[in-house]
Structure 1
Amino acid sequence: MIVPITGNVTYSITLDPTVWIFDDRKVLLEEAFSDQLNNQEEGDELEKASQRWSREVYQQKINPPVNKSISRFERDKILENSYVMPINEFVDHAEIKDDAKDVTLLSGSGETTISLENLKNSYLLFAIDGKPLQEEGPVHLYFQDGSNKDNPIKGIEKIIVN
């Protein structure tokens, strides 16, 4: 259930979509392709990062780290929804080299090649009804513009930067 990003990158990284259900960056599938969300993401990205940084610094200076549990309502809500994760931040952490041309997505049904720009502007579907993808998993790729909303790239097992 892991997805490695390898190839023409400075750091090969491994994505574990099974833990993203608890990640604050996840997006509801129903909201992923709305214009409001895309505009809000662009404007709020710096603000969200600033808030996360401030919260971490504040907790480290004043309070010891505490594992805050989610409420029963939040847990039930999480287990009822389908989620996608923007992939751009993970791609940035892998540090794609300047001479990279495109990306090959390996799945059980073969290979698909897409541009680096398309990869950076994509979502990975990782949960349906709050559960990891078992069939055709571990992730499906959707372009943020919604152009493949009805026909995502399914069963991605490895991402190779060429």
Structure 2
Amino acid sequence: MNSIVTISGSVKYKITLDPGVWIFDDRKVDLTTYFIRKPKESDEIEAYTKSVSKHWDREISEGAIYPPTLKTERRFEREKVLTGSFGIPLEPFLKNAEPLDHTTKVHFITTTGKVTLSLNEAKRALLGFSNRGKPLTENGPVHLYYGNGSNADKPITSIREIILE
């Protein structure tokens, strides 16, 4: 089975996606909780500043030695990666492909046919790439989840290619 998905068609740059490396991507989201609560839009600079500030405060108050709680947090994150179900927003990949001005549709080619969304709907969509810590080998390499979560229980599976028109 091929684990690579391409984004092509009416784009400036053809993009090749390898879902196997997304487990290390900070943009990944937990699919078991993502559609339960409304994801809040956050400013990346503000989030980074808060993260650095928190780390700096911890180093000032506790020194550079990591306390047991931080080690526990890291262990929990490792376990979560090994057992969690994850997805990643499609929008950054569409943005990097740079759709041409006349592009309005996105076709998701599967092993059984195709699903078409508007470009705006596709930008809000998620690509699932992991289920219970395992890559989607049987009906993958990625699953398509609509941004509103309406197909959270039954995503579009077996996506092989994404074509913009």
TM-score normalised by L of structure 2: 0.78
Tell me if the contact between 1:32 and 1:144 (Cα under 8 Å) persists in the aligned partners. Answer: no
- 1:129 matched to 2:132? The reply is yes
- Name the SS for the 1:43 alignment partner: coil
Paired residue secondary structure (2:153): coil
* Structure 1: segments with no counterpart, 5+ residues: 55-70
Question: Is the 8 Å Cα contact of residues 136 and 155 (structure 1) preserved in structure 2?
Answer: yes
CA deviations over 1:16-43 (Å, ceiling 9, x no partner): 110111111110012211344x2x2x13
Partner SS state of residue 109, structure 1: coil
Name the structure 1 match of 2:55: none
SS in 1 for 2:95: helix
Answer yes or no: is 1:157 the counterpart of 2:160.
yes
Unaligned runs of 5+ in 2: 53-73
Letter in 2 for 1:94: A
The structure with the largest alpha-carbon Rg is 2
Q: Which residue identity is paired with 2:18? A: D
Residue in 2 that maps onto 1:30: 32
Q: Does 1:20 align with 2:22?
A: yes
Q: Which residue of 2 aligns with 1:59?
A: none
Alignment length, in residue pairs?
A: 142
Compute the displacement of 1:160 (Å). Answer: 0.2
State the secondary structure of the residue aligned to 1:89.
Answer: helix
Q: What's the Cα RMSD here?
A: 2.1
